[in-house]
Structure 1
Amino acid sequence: MKIAIRLPLATALALGLAAPLAAQADALQQQLDDLQDFQIIAHRGASGHAPEHTWPAYQQARRMGADYLELDLHMSADGELMVIHDDTLDRTTDGSGPVKDHTLAKLKALDAGSWFNESHTDRAEEAYAGAELLTLDEVIDRYGSDVRYYIETKSPERYPELQRALVETLEAEGLVASGSVVIQSFSQDSLEQVHALNADIPLVQLVWYSPAEDGSGLTEWTGVTPDPAEITDADFQAIADYAVGIGPNVVYDGEDVIDAGFVEQAHDNGLLVHPYTINDVDQMQRLLDWGVDGMFTNFPDRLSGLVE
């Protein structure tokens, strides 16, 4: 049996493993440099215009100037990495039940487009009907390193093997070495697993703030940070130990949960800030004024119109 030995990039370079690794270092550094500029992140593709996570949504996002295509991952019953947001099929397909209970063949037979036409009659297109669910392999086969991917590990506790399967796929396709991928999650454990598997992949910690049940302020969904009103440099530094950025919600039930000070403090601790999911032009402009480093949006065309 052949045993693969993976060295950290800096160690490999120090040992003189020459030109290919130097090129990889350049590509990874270029990605980090590019992340210092504002990034338009197409949330599930251009999902305001076409069915989320389908070819039409991705193609439109590319035409609209997105810097990253966002992909959410679940796993099929037979271990395929599926690009779909929800744990279940009910909202965005004509199927039902958990994704993980269906084989790839069953999932590929579903209609993942007609729901959009029914829900958004003003944006309906006949061609959307019958759109298929996609696998990560299919998306990579089509786009390769011509695009950058912002991948979210969804519900990793349901799929303990997901992190390794994802990293192995990205490595095999050369997408880590080419600086083509960011991985995000609400699960700190998932991100730390990815970091242990390949420390070169840029990671972003997602957070969700909402009012605490006891009325004492705000709480973060998974407990990664305290209330933004009480967050400290140490809290941001704990995230910076494994991630390059933080992805917060901005508003809950019409009220702000973060402010410009949150963005400034994150920056002071070396973290990028990529809030989600921003579709209103005035809100986009407000966050640009706060100095955020990128935004998730269902409407990349609206955001590109502001940052051109």
Structure 2
Amino acid sequence: MHSVNVFASGRGYLTHAIAVAAIGFSGYALADNLETQLEALQDFQVIAHRGASGHAPEHSMEALQMAHDMGADYLELDIQLSADGVLVAIHDETVDRTTDGEGAVQDFDLAGLKALDAGSWFNDANPDRARQDFVGTEVVTLDEVIDRFGTQTRYYLETKSAERDPTLEAAMMEKLSDRGLIEAGAVVIQSFSQESLQKVQAINPDVPLIQLVWYYPESDDSDALVEWTGVTPGPESISDADFQSVREYAVGIGSNLAYQGNQVIDDDFVRQAQTNDLLVHIYTINAVPEMEQLMRWGVDGVFTNFPARLIRLVD
């Protein structure tokens, strides 16, 4: 974990979260591990967005290994199901952008996904960081990631495109339980879908959840902001009650900082969320000045494609 004095705020979310999470625990080990995780979340978290994806193809084992070696607090992955029910790490609903294939992720079985080249696109997009060994990079499964990094590493997993496959949450939670990640206090679940998070909560209320939000202008000729899924009003009109509604199932909120270069939240938004016992994690920040700004605001964590940049600021 990464601790910075500027983040000390005296708010009570941690005590509340531990008290709530402790209800119904089936064993002391689980209670202890979850309490340790929640305590760690009180400190600033460096969240490696799809691994160290500024240095290697996103979600690749190389990007995840780099982030792990850099010392990121969490490895962040987007999780979807293949056509044959395997949990895989890929962001888009289609394979078009990050592989040499075409079509919906959910139309490929695992063998089909593994046959794709998921690395050459990175070399084409980032010639200054291109490496020949990225060519032929494979799509990775959640099992493969856990095999590599184990239960001592923490994972920040998003239920991606959950509305397209209503079995995703159950399959993912079963996997995390079977592999010991929940018992180890090693996983946070995030989603833009409130319904998806509430499904996870119903399966296991002990797992920390983060409600993702995306704020943008309501129209081209309006300064009023709206939230993509409607889970909250725009930041200018958000109320304590709105934050409390999120707090009923989540320990935190994950927001964008800007839309097309224009800032959509400010330090008042951060303070108001924290006053309502919510952690605030901001995505996806790669420029040092923005990282420093968010640190001054006292956010609780930042997603970044360049974990080492952020780690240098907070250590």
If asked which structure has higher relative contact order (CA below 8 Å, sep 6+), I would say 2
- Provide structure 2 residue ranges, at least 5 long, that are not aligned to the other structure: 1-20
Match of 2:115 among 109, 113, 125: 109
Which residue identity is paired with 2:280? V
Deviation at residue 146 of structure 1 after TM alignment: 2.3
Q: What is residue 197 of structure 2 aligned with on the other side? A: 191
Query: Which residue matches 2:150?
Result: 144
Q: Which residue of 1 aligns with 2:162?
A: 156
Provide the residue aligned with 2:270 in structure 1: 263
- 1:138, distance to aligned residue in structure 2 (A): 1.0
Superposed displacement of residue 254, structure 1:
1.4
Q: Secondary structure at the match of 1:146?
A: coil
Shift of 1:255: 1.2
* Structure 2 residue aligned with 1:68: 74
- The answer for the alignment partner of 2:247 in structure 1 is 240
User: Are the equivalent residues in 1 in contact too, given 2:57–2:122 (CA < 8 A)?
Assistant: yes
Q: List per-residue Cα deviations over 1:93-119 (Å, max 9, x = no partner).
A: 011100000111111111111110111
- Matches of 2:25 and 2:184, distance apart in 1: 17
Which residue matches 2:11? none
* Residues in 2 aligned to 1:100 and 1:168: alpha-carbon distance in whole angstroms: 19
The answer for the alignment partner of 1:16 in structure 2 is: none
- Measured in 1, the distance between the counterparts of 2:160 and 2:239 equals 28
- 3-state SS of paired residue (1:242): coil
1:131 alignment counterpart: 137
Name the residue aligned to 2:94: 88
> Is 1:273 equivalent to 2:280 in the alignment?
yes
User: C-alpha distance in 2, partners of 1:254/1:76?
Assistant: 35
Distance 2:223 2:60 in 1: 41
In 2, the alpha carbon distance for the partners of 1:251 and 1:306 equals 21
Instruction: Kindly state the Cα deviation for residue 12 of structure 1 after the two structures are TM-superposed.
Output: 4.8
Partners in 2 of 1:60 and 1:109 — Cα distance?
24
Following TM superposition, by how much is the alpha carbon of 1:24 offset from its aligned partner in structure 2, in angstroms? 1.3
Closer/same/farther in 2, CA of residues 102 and 191 from structure 1, 3 Å limit:
same
CA distance in 1, matches of 2:25, 2:104: 42
Q: Secondary structure of 2:77's match?
A: strand
> Within 5 A, what are the aligned runs for 1:1-308?
10-12=23-25, 21-213=27-219, 215=222, 217-308=224-315
Cα distance per residue 1:116-163 (max 9 Å; x no partner): 011100001111111100011111122121210000011101010000
- Secondary structure at the aligned position of 1:145 is classed as coil
Gaps of 5+ in 1: 1-7, 14-20
Alpha-carbon deviations, 1:174-229, whole Å to 9, x = none? 11111000000000000000000000000000000000027260000000000101
**SS at the partner of 2:302?**
strand
- Give, in whole Å, the separation in 2 of the partners of 1:192 and 1:55: 30
3-state secondary structure, aligned to 1:134: coil
Cα deviation for residue 45 of structure 1 reads 0.1
Secondary structure of 2:63's counterpart equals helix
Root-mean-square deviation over aligned CA pairs:
1.1
Distance 2:267 2:25 in 1: 40
SS of alignment partner, residue 79 of structure 2: strand
What is the CA–CA distance in structure 2 between the aligned matches of 1:11 and 1:258, rounded to whole Å? 36
Larger CA deviation: 139-148 vs 284-293: 139-148
1:196 and 1:160 map into 2 onto residues whose CA distance is 14
The one-character-per-residue Cα deviations of 1:37-94 (angstroms, maximum 9, x if unpaired) are 0000000000000000011101110121100000101111111111001100011001
8 A contact 2:25–2:31 mirrored in 1: no
1:267-298 CA-partner distances (Å, limit 9, x unpaired): 00000000000000000000000000000000
Which residue of structure 1 aligns with residue 12 of structure 2? none
SS of the residue aligned with 1:93? Answer: coil
TM-score (norm 2): 0.92
Residue 5 of structure 1: aligned partner: none
| Cα distance in 2, alignment partners of residues 281 and 177 from structure 1 | 35
Query: C-alpha offsets along residues 206-261 of structure 1, whole Å, 9 cap, x if unaligned?
Result: 00000002726000000000010110000000000000000000101211100000
Counterpart of 1:98, as a letter, is A
Q: Does structure 1 retain, via aligned residues, the 8 Å contact 2:152–2:184?
A: no
